[in-house]
């Protein structure tokens, strides 16, 4: 699917209207999600029929976008009940409900056996409300031991040393503006938008 067509499809998905500051929830918009998925596919990591695991799936935009891009299955892992309901509704509206496994679980506390995963995608909490809130997500990626892509604050300096210390190869390959919910704009110096970076994480 062409990137522009994917962006239009993903922009039509239902979004969360209420966000938890504690969980550092924020929605990835359709244009950014489509562009990022195209980048991931360009590495050869998002291949036809692969199984993708989206950690902190929110409304499901990345996992569902991966299916629209050719993935055979998406595991959507999300802790928030409302977000899970929205993700399921979005999967149904796209006609791919049978291609997803929706797992309501808290990363770092519980992560059920998901079987074979070919690719992990995650936009974890950035730790602006709770320091090191992303740590359980990064540790979970290590346990999967497969090519993974994360979006994080462009100011993050701990991604490379964390994964390189575990023997992984790390490539920072892009940046983009990221829209913040109004709740975050009122509670930080990052007004409305902030800068996000993309990393490709590869086990040795």
Take residue 22 and report the two structure tokens written for it: 């504690």
Q: Which fold has domain 3-202?
A: Rossmann fold (3.40.50)
DSSP of 46-62, one letter per residue? S-TT-EEEEET-TTSHH
199 touches 150 (CB < 8 A): yes
Interval 8-60: pLDDT, tens: 999 999 987 765 555 555 778 899 999 999 999 999 999 999 999 999 999 99
What is the crossing angle of helices 61-68 and 81-94, to 10°?
Answer: 20
Interval 46-97: pLDDT, tens: 999 999 999 999 999 999 999 999 999 999 999 999 999 999 999 999 999 9
Phi-psi region of 44 (alpha: psi -120 to 50; beta: other; left: phi over 0): left
Cα–Cα dist 46/146, whole Å? 12
pTM above 0.75, yes or no: yes
Q: Is the pLDDT of residue 185 over 60?
A: no
- Domain extents in the chain: 3-202
Interval 158-174: pLDDT, tens: 999 999 999 999 999 99
């Amino acid at each position: 699917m062409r990137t522009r067509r994917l962006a239009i499809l993903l922009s039509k998905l239902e979004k969360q209207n209420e966000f938890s500051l504690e969980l550092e929830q924020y929605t990835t918009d359709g244009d950014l999600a489509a562009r990022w998925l195209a980048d991931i596919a360009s590495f050869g990591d998002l291949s036809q029929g692969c199984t993708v695991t989206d950690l902190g799936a929110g409304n499901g935009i990345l996992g569902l976008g991966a299916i629209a891009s050719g993935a055979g299955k998406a595991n959507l892992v999300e802790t928030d009940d409302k977000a899970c309901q929205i993700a399921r509704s979005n999967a149904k509206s796209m006609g791919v409900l049978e291609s997803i496994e929706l797992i309501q679980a808290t990363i770092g506390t519980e992560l059920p056996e998901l079987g074979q995963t070919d690719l992990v995608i995650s936009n974890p909490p950035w730790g602006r409300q709770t320091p090191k809130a992303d740590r359980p997500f990064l540790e979970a990626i290590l346990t999967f031991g497969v090519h993974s892509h994360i979006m994080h604050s462009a100011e993050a300096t701990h991604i490379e040393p964390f994964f390189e210390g575990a023997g992984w190869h790390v490539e920072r390959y892009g940046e983009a503006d990221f829209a913040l919910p109004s709740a975050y704009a009122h509670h930080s110096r990052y007004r409305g938008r902030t800068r996000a970076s993309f990393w490709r994480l590869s086990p040795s």
